[in-house]
Amino acid sequence: MISLLLLSILQDSVFVEDPVAAGQDLFNRVERDLGKALGKFESHETLPEKSPWWDVIGVKETKISNDEAIEDLLRAVTMVLAGEGAGDLRAEAKAIQKAIRDANFDQDEMRRKRDTAPAEDSLGKAEDLIVTSREEFDEMILESQAKQEDLRLALLEVERQFIEALSRTGLKIEDQAARSLLGTLAGERFSDLAITIANVRLVTEQLHRLADESGEAPELTRKYYGLYVLLVRLVDVAQDDYVRWVREVAIPRLDTILKDAEFQRQEALSGKAADPDRAEAFQRNVDQLELTQTAAVRYIEYLKIQAEGVERGNVEVEKDLRLAANTWRTVDLSLETADLIRRGSEAFGALMTLELPPLRGFEGSELRARFQSLERRMAEPLQ
């Protein structure tokens, strides 16, 4: 069974060369947008619930518009946090995977041309300069296969680096699961979420240090704790966005693919019954469409379980957010802030435990290839 376990991200399990420096760097990069969000957060209670009747074009800020502005700023911060650690590796893996597919296509094309190419010893000197012989096609195919093998080795190295990058965030992952995260759109979304949570913890630890160093300066401690509240909210928004994407975008798209496949399957069955001479060809189409349906159904199950796991973690995050916001508004923070933030950073280490469904059905090369084809079909309209 392939399983992903986002374990407790304790200091001794995060293999970062210098977590303090990493936290400082991340904090510096997100402080501006977090600061803007904090300003809006601080003014939130003074705003009306909705615009007055005369404000027909919505000029006056309201609690609703302010919430939307805060969440937009937090999503901008999330883009920075999610990009740390694995984004470049995923792009590199995609490029290599595409090059491997292109090589397969080129080899098929060369084999087709080779079948009708003349033998080298049948060509004259003039023809040899302009006509590609069967032997030359053989050499070209072997050369392409050698390059393809180099690409496969390069992909294995990228996968190794990807696993290493995720392990530094505290995400413990098996090799086969890492390949799934590298090769699927849903996997990218999930790893973005995991990396965001891990990097939120680094930034939170930096806030803890800053709050500790500020002593009893009320304004500074209030600011640092306010930023911590926003980081909790950022995780809440990121989790909500992931669950919404699964349920409102990915699964409906797969449902559409399933309906299309079933329509074509019925057409193929009708054609098979009506035309016995072509029954074998129609049956091959039926088999291929049923593979697509199997892949789509299992992928939907996979996404549902991921979304449910994230949603379970989100219940606890929303409780933390409610408490943190209430604490920020009602408590004298000067002596308590550093300790509260420290406890918050520890909580990020155990946000969720996710068990992904078994993908044993994809161990067969044919079904696995269909799963990958389905992913490519999904990716274009979803990105």
Distance of CA 138 to the CA centre of its chain: 41
Q: 18: phi > 0 → left, psi -120 to 50 → alpha, else beta; which? A: beta
Domain total for the chain? 1
Residue 137 placed within a domain: no
Q: 10: part of which helix (H) or strand (E)?
A: none
Write out the E strands in the chain. Answer: 4-6, 171-173
- The crossing angle, in degrees rounded to 10, of helices 279-330 and 251-274 is 170
Any idea what the Cα angle at residue 351 is, between residues 349 and 353, rounded to 5°?
105
- The crossing angle, in degrees rounded to 10, of helices 365-382 and 279-330 is 60
Q: What is the pTM of this model?
A: 0.69
Residue 175 placed within a domain: no
Domain extent, residue 363, equals 4-84+184-382
Residue 111 placed within a domain: no
Residue 179 placed within a domain: no
What is residue 1's predicted lDDT score, i.e. its pLDDT?
27
Q: Who has greater pLDDT, 280 or 378?
A: 280
Residue 114 placed within a domain: no
Mind listing the pLDDT tens digit for each residue in 28-81? 888 888 888 888 888 887 888 776 655 555 556 788 888 888 888 888 888 777
Q: Who has greater pLDDT, 374 or 241?
A: 241
Q: What is the mean pLDDT of the chain?
A: 75
Looking at this protein, which amino acid is placed at residue 79?
M
Residue 262: phi, psi to the nearest 5? -65, -40
Residue 223 placed within a domain: yes
Residue 124 placed within a domain: no
Residues 134, 12: Cα–Cα separation, whole Å: 61
Looking at this protein, which amino acid is placed at residue 326?
N
Q: Residue 145 — pLDDT band, cuts 50, 70, 90?
A: very high
Residue 89 placed within a domain: no
Residues 283, 263: Cα–Cα separation, whole Å: 15
Within 13 Å and on the Cβ side, how many CA atoms surround 168? 16
Q: Residue 295 — pLDDT band, cuts 50, 70, 90?
A: confident
Within 13 Å and on the Cβ side, how many CA atoms surround 383? 9
